[in-house]
């Protein structure tokens, strides 16, 4: 089966979250606050696919020519990011996914152009590189890509994971990713060979409804599935925009078996949107200082479950 022709590749997933560490057998990269995707490229164009294998190219017309900076047919793993003052801005990126009008998409692309940052190569020269060690795949990636403003190769350092994490903290970046040098690329699987070290914890939730708290202030009602039923998991207000709320479809029907306390004024919606919420890590189940990061198109609602 040819991964390129069938568009059947899927991204390797980060295994777990830990504190930063130093180890000569690992490399360390900045964690980009963007949209993870695979880029299928040859001399005719580029096809971006997210974790659900949905096409993303039409949302980012400014990236349609980056294939000209890549030599040969390949599949690159990376993130689409929007940089403001050299720092990834997830909210500007999130706004793009809420747009459907072609003219508005092109306006936003001109105002805040996106870039593709590649950190792995899993297919090149008509062969899969999945079982090649990470550092060999990195060498192939470096050989294939000629960088410009729209495409770049992720930089990494060796040994000094703690120092890189501290530098990320100082610039208020998301964190770092640690990867074992000899790690294979396990498509669609989580592996202990890739570890994230973040300032904030994050978690995915289903949006079950919202409460209007002011003229432009909204609180989203969060949920997860347990045994096929939605379970109430709390609220998030910070970071929620009018645009995020307008993407939801009201139903007028409470999706929970019991009405959660404090939600009498809720507007209930179709539970078809998954969002990421960042919060301060804590030992309790409650979300501490939660912040809405945006919707995820790469995760189906029925994947968002309570496992404990």
What does the pLDDT look like over 55-99, one tens digit per residue? 999 999 999 999 999 999 999 999 999 998 888 888 788 888 778
Distance, CA of 72 to chain centre: 27
Whether pLDDT at 283 is above 70 = no
Distance, CA of 239 to chain centre: 17
Mean pLDDT of 228-246: 93
Give domain 201-303's CATH superfamily.
Answer: Nucleic acid-binding proteins (2.40.50.140)
| SS3 per residue for 67-111 | HHHECCCEEEEEEEEEEECCEECHHHHHHHHCCCCHHHHHHHHHH
> Residues near 107 by Cβ (< 8 Å), separated by ≥ 6?
none
pLDDT at residue 153, rounded to an integer = 98
Mean pLDDT of 223-237: 93
CATH T-level assignment (fold) for domain 3-198: D-amino Acid Aminotransferase; Chain A, domain 1 (3.30.470)
Mean pLDDT of 191-210: 92
pLDDT at residue 271, rounded to an integer = 96
Mean pLDDT of 9-35: 92
More confident residue, 260 or 255: 255
Q: Lowest-confidence range among 34-38, 96-100, 188-192, 207-211?
A: 96-100
Rounded to whole angstroms, the Cα distance separating 211 from 63 reads: 37
Mean pLDDT of 236-261: 91
pLDDT band at 115 (very low <50, low <70, confident <90, very high): very high
Mean pLDDT of 117-131: 97
Whether pLDDT at 167 is above 60 = yes
Backbone angles phi, psi at 162, to 5 degrees: -65, -45
Whether pLDDT at 203 is above 80 = yes
pLDDT at residue 107, rounded to an integer = 95
Over the chain, what is the mean pLDDT? 92
Provide CATH 2.40.50.140 ranges for the chain: 201-303
Whether pLDDT at 286 is above 80 = no
Provide CATH 3.30.470.30 ranges for the chain: 3-198
Any idea what DSSP says for residue 128? E
pLDDT at residue 282, rounded to an integer = 63
pLDDT by residue (tens digit) across 140-165?
999 999 999 999 999 999 999 999 99
Closest CA to 238 of 289, 287, 282, 198: 289
H or E stretch including 8?
none
Length of the chain: 308
Whether pLDDT at 292 is above 90 = yes
Whether pLDDT at 308 is above 70 = no
pLDDT at residue 284, rounded to an integer = 60
H or E stretch including 275?
strand 274-280
Rounded to whole angstroms, the Cα distance separating 282 from 247 reads: 31
């Amino acid at each position: 089966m040819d991964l390129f022709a069938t568009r059947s590749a899927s991204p390797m997933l980060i295994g777990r979250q830990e504190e930063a560490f130093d180890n000569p057998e690992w490399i360390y990269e900045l964690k980009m606050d963007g949209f993870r995707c695979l880029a299928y490229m040859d001399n005719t164009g580029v096809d971006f696919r997210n974790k659900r294998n949905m096409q993303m190219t039409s949302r980012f017309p400014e990236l349609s020519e980056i294939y000209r900076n890549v030599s040969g047919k390949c599949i690159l793993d990376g993130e689409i990011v929007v940089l403001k003052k050299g720092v990834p801005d997830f909210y500007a990126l999130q706004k793009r996914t809420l747009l459907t009008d072609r003219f508005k998409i092109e306006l936003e692309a001109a105002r805040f152009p996106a870039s593709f940052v590649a950190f792995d190569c899993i297919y090149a020269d008509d062969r899969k590189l999945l079982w090649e060690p990470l550092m060999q795949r990195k060498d192939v990636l470096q050989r294939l890509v000629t960088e410009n403003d729209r495409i770049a190769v992720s930089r990494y350092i060796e040994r000094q994971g703690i120092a890189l994490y501290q530098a990320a903290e100082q610039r208020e970046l998301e964190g770092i990713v640690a990867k074992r040098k000899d790690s294979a690329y396990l498509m669609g699987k989580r592996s202990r060979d890739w570890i994230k070290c973040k300032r904030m914890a994050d978690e995915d939730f289903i949006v079950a409804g919202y409460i209007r708290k002011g003229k432009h202030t909204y609180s989203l009602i969060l949920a997860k599935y347990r045994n096929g039923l939605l379970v109430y998991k709390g609220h998030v207000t910070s970071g929620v925009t009018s645009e995020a709320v307008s993407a939801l479809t009201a139903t007028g029907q409470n999706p929970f078996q019991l009405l959660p306390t404090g939600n009498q004024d809720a507007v209930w919606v179709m539970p078809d949107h998954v969002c990421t919420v960042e919060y301060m890590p804590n030992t309790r189940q409650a979300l501490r200082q939660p912040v809405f990061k945006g919707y995820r198109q790469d995760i189906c609602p029925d994947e968002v479950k309570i496992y404990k």
